[in-house]
Amino acid sequence: MSERTEQLRKIKDAIVNLTESPLYEYRTENNYFPVIGQGNHYADIMFIGEAPGKNEAEQGRPFCGASGRVLDELLESIDLKRENVYVTNIVKDRPPNNRDPHKAEIELYSPFLEQQIDIIQPNVIATLGRFSMEFILKKYDAPEAKQKISQLHGTVVKVTTGYGEASVVPLFHPAAALYNPSQRTTLEDDFKVLTQFISSDQ
C-alpha cells in the first residue's frame, strides 16, 4: 500500500467515526455510507463537488447517480478516463433531502478535503458548483474569490498551495445539465479548458 493510500485511509476512518457531525445520525438512521472520494491517488486533476446525494450515500461513491453519468460523459468528451482523476466533495455525508450544505457542515468537513488535496497534490482543482468554487478560491486567497460562478466558469485561476502552484478551473455542477439542457453545452465547452492539462499518458 502506498503512503498516499495509507494517509487517505486514515481520513476515511476519521470520517466514518465522525459522531460530532450533525449529519452522522442521519447517515446511520438510513444505513448510508460517508462518501470520501474515489480515483487515482496521484491524479493531476481533482474534481470537487459539494455533498453526496442519495445514490452516492447508498453506495459510498461520489458522483454515481444521474449527475455522475453527466460527469462521466463530460470526461469522455475530452478523452479523460475517470480512473485517472480523483473525485470528491467538500461535505462527505449526505444532507437531508439533497439540501445545500450548511456553513457549519462545510467548516466541519473541509479540513478532510484540505488533507486530501495536500496528499494527492493535484496540478488542477476543478470545482463543480458554487460551493466548492467559493471554498477553494477563498482558501487559496485568490483575488477572484468575490466573483460569481457565472463570471468564472470555464476560466483558469492560478493559486499557490502548500505544495506549489496549481490551477483552479471553476465549472458548473453536472446536475445543472439535468435541469437545463442549455447548461449541458456550456459544461461541454468549459470541460475543453481541461484538455491543456491532460498529459498523453492519460
CATH of the domain at 146: 3.40.470.10
pLDDT of residue 202: 55
Say if 77 falls within a structural domain: yes
* pLDDT for position 143: 95
Q: Which residues are registered as beta bridge partners of 169?
A: 126
* pLDDT tens digits along 17-72: 999 999 999 999 999 999 999 999 999 999 999 999 999 999 999 999 999 999 99
Asked whether the beta carbons of 143 and 100 are under 8 A apart, the reply is: no
Q: Is 131 exposed, middle or buried (0-12, 13-18, 19+ CB in 10 A)?
A: buried
Tell me which H or E stretch contains 27: helix 24-29
Measured distance CA(155)–CA(192) in Å, rounded: 11
Task: Please give the model's pTM, rounded to 2 decimal places.
Answer: 0.96
In a domain, 78, yes or no: yes
DSSP state at residue 196:
G
| Rounded distance between C-alpha atoms, residue 98 and residue 12, angstroms | 22
Which residues of the chain are modeled with pLDDT < 50?
none
29 falls within a domain: yes
Q: What is the helix (H) or strand (E) element at residue 78, kind and residue range?
A: none
pLDDT number for residue 1:
73
38 is a domain residue: yes
Residue 57 located in a structural domain: yes
Range of the domain at 96: 3-195
Residues facing 166 on adjacent strands: 159
pLDDT of residue 131: 95
Which residues are within 8 A (CB) of 5 and not within 5 positions of it... i.e. 6 or more apart?
A: 41
Question: Which cell goes with 182?
Answer: 442549455
* Residue 200 within a domain: no
Q: Which three cell numbers stand for residue 71?
A: 460527469
Asked if residue 202 belongs to a domain, the reply is no
Can you tell me whether residue 80 is helix, strand or coil?
coil
Q: How many domains does the chain have?
A: 1
CA–CA separation, 21 vs 71, rounded Å?
Answer: 28
